[in-house]
Amino acid sequence: MKNCPKFGKVILAAMVHELYRSGLGEVLFDKLAATVFSWCHVNRELLPGYDTLLKICCKLGESKIVLCEEGTKHKLQKLQLNYPSDDVTFALKESPDLPWLSKYL
Beta strands, E only, 1-105: 27-28, 66-68, 78-81
* Per-residue model confidence as pLDDT tens digits over 64-79: 999 988 876 688 889 9
The pLDDT assigned to 73 comes to 67
DSSP 46-68: PPPPHHHHHHHHHHHHHTTSEEE
* Per-residue model confidence as pLDDT tens digits over 24-45: 989 999 999 999 999 999 999 9
Query: Considering the entire predicted model, what is its pTM?
Result: 0.90
Q: What are phi and psi of 93, to 5 degrees?
A: -55, -45
Would you state the torsion angle of the CA atoms of residues 33, 36, 37, 38, taken in this order, to the nearest 10 degrees?
120
Question: Span 6-104: which CATH code?
Answer: 1.10.10.10
pLDDT band with cut points at 50, 70 and 90 for residue 3: confident
- Helix, strand, or coil (residue 83): coil
